[in-house]
Amino acid sequence: MTIKAVRGTRDLLPPETELWNRVEQTARDVFSLYNFAEIRTPIFEDTQLFARGVGEATDIVSKEMYTWEDRARAQSEKAQSLTLRPENTAGVVRAYIEHKLWERPGLQKLYYIGPQFRRERPQKGRYRQFYQIGAEVIGPPSAGSESPARDAEVLEMLVMLLQRLGIKDWTLQLNSVGSPSSRPAYNEALRQALSGVVERMCVDCQRRAVANPLRVFDCKVPEDQPIIETLPRISGFLDEADREHFEEVRKILRATDVPFVINDRLVRGLDYYTRTAFEFTQGSLGAQNAILGGGRYDGLSEALGGPRAPGIGFAIGEDRFVMALSAASDANSVASAPSAYIAPLGSGMNLEAAKLARELRLAGIRVELGDESFRLKKAFETAEKLGIQRVIIVGENEVAARQFAVKDLKSGEQITVGRAELAEKFQSGKRTI
Hey, which bits of 248-389 come out as E strands? 261-262, 274-282, 290-296, 311-317, 340-344, 367-369
**Calpha distance 114→370 (Å, rounded):** 35
**Residue among 311, 317, 338, 370 that touches ligand AMP (CB under 6 A):** 317
**Residue among 58, 132, 176, 339 that touches ligand AMP (CB under 6 A):** 132
Strand pairing report for 108-117 and 37-38? parallel
Q: Does 319 bind ligand AMP (CB under 6 A)?
A: yes
Q: Does 59 bind ligand AMP (CB under 6 A)?
A: no
Q: Does 154 bind ligand AMP (CB under 6 A)?
A: no
**Residue among 111, 130, 272, 273 that touches ligand AMP (CB under 6 A):** 130
Q: Does 320 bind ligand AMP (CB under 6 A)?
A: yes
Q: Burial-class residue 220 by CB neighbours within 10 Å (0-12, 13-18, 19+).
A: exposed
**Residue among 91, 148, 293, 311 that touches ligand AMP (CB under 6 A):** 293
**Residue among 87, 146, 271, 298 that touches ligand AMP (CB under 6 A):** 87
**Residue among 96, 102, 127, 297 that touches ligand AMP (CB under 6 A):** 127
Please choose, from the candidates 42, 59, 76, 254, the residue with its C-alpha nearest in 3D space to the C-alpha of residue 148.
Answer: 254
Q: Does 155 bind ligand AMP (CB under 6 A)?
A: no
| Cβ 276 to ligand AMP shortest distance, Å | 14
214 neighbors 237 (Cβ within 8 angstroms): no
> If you write DSSP's letter for every residue of 47-98 in order, what string do you get?
HHHHHHHT-TTSHIIIII--EEEE--SSTTSPPEEEEE-S-SHHHHHHHHHH
Where does this chain touch ligand AMP (CB under 6 A) — which range of 96-104, 119-127, 170-178, 249-257? 119-127
Where does this chain touch ligand AMP (CB under 6 A) — which range of 118-126, 233-241, 335-343, 358-366? 118-126
Where does this chain touch ligand AMP (CB under 6 A) — which range of 162-170, 231-239, 314-322, 378-386? 314-322
Q: Does 269 bind ligand AMP (CB under 6 A)?
A: yes
> If you write DSSP's letter for every residue of 235-278 in order, what string do you get?
GGG--HHHHHHHHHHHHHHHHTT---EE-TT---S-TT-EEEEE
Contact set with ligand AMP (CB under 6 A): 87, 118, 120, 125-127, 130, 132, 268-269, 290-293, 315, 317, 319-320
